[in-house]
Structure 1
């Protein structure tokens, strides 16, 4: 299980800090229009983007807490990885429904969707008799 969780913890740290940086930049309106996807001056796309704030911040908070704790860390990690994967799935579903297949949005969101899965399997499918840490 540690072979899965070691790389996952690194990915979590990068992702959780990335979430915090992204939202700080987004709230400060520092993303230049030429780097924003499509047209974030469109209120619907802007609202869609900001609808992820609570989900991303909850994933980040539980993920960073899981990396700093031993007691309850496994549960926090499971919650964080589930929220992160959900955020990726939600974004992929949105762009798929719109028929929009830009790699600049699909690749990072596929990463968010997929990187937690091996660790979630390892965390939830522990051998019989092994206690949760």
Structure 2
């Protein structure tokens, strides 16, 4: 695994684990986050439900991404399909969030920008990863 992919997966996946930890603490009332830091209508029950609907997807890409990094460090070739799954799920999560904000016409530069980054950064690594998987598959046959 290229060091840049390892760094990008680790940074994104740890950040999302932290995000959901903070969201949970805020949800149960253990912490209070200033409204200025939140996305539009963050306390509207429908928006809260929309945000939590991302939880399974975000956790799935975080777990597969961190698993891929761990597998690569152990020399286990399963890291490639795990990284591929993580990259694709990251793009999906970012794309869904961007689509939501675009449909509402509520494009806050910070929140939209962070989600746009989730769509873009995996695209940097996907072509090489897919090529590498194809070469490894062809050489195994």
Separation (CA, whole Å) in 1 of partners of 2:133 and 2:45: 49
Once structures 1 and 2 are overlaid, which stretch shifts more, 71-80 or 117-126?
117-126
Gaps of 5+ in 2: none
Q: Which residue of 1 aligns with 2:116?
A: 110
Gaps of 5+ in 1: none
Residue by residue, what CA displacement relative to the aligned partner does 1:77-99 show, whole Å, maximum 9, x if unpaired? 00001001110000001011111
Separation (CA, whole Å) in 2 of partners of 1:96 and 1:85: 16
TM superposition outliers: structure 1 runs of 4+ over 4 Å: none
For this pair of structures, how many residues does the alignment match? Answer: 129
Q: Which residue of 2 aligns with 1:9?
A: 6
Separation (CA, whole Å) in 1 of partners of 2:133 and 2:84: 17
C-alpha deviation, 1:117, in angstroms: 0.7
Larger Cα Rg: Structure 1 or Structure 2?
2
C-alpha deviation, 1:41, in angstroms: 1.5
Q: TM-score w.r.t. structure 1 length?
A: 0.89
Q: 1:124 to 1:94 in 2, by over 3 A?
A: same
Residue by residue, what CA displacement relative to the aligned partner does 1:30-66 show, whole Å, maximum 9, x if unpaired? 3333321122210011111111000000000000000
Tell me the SS of whatever aligns to 1:108: helix
Separation (CA, whole Å) in 2 of partners of 1:37 and 1:27: 16
Separation (CA, whole Å) in 1 of partners of 2:24 and 2:40: 18
Separation (CA, whole Å) in 1 of partners of 2:65 and 2:10: 7
RMSD of the TM alignment (CA)? 1.9
Q: 1:99 to 1:77 in 2, by over 3 A?
A: same
Match of 2:66 among 57, 64, 67: 64
Q: Is 1:131 the counterpart of 2:133 in the alignment?
A: no
Q: TM-score w.r.t. structure 2 length?
A: 0.84
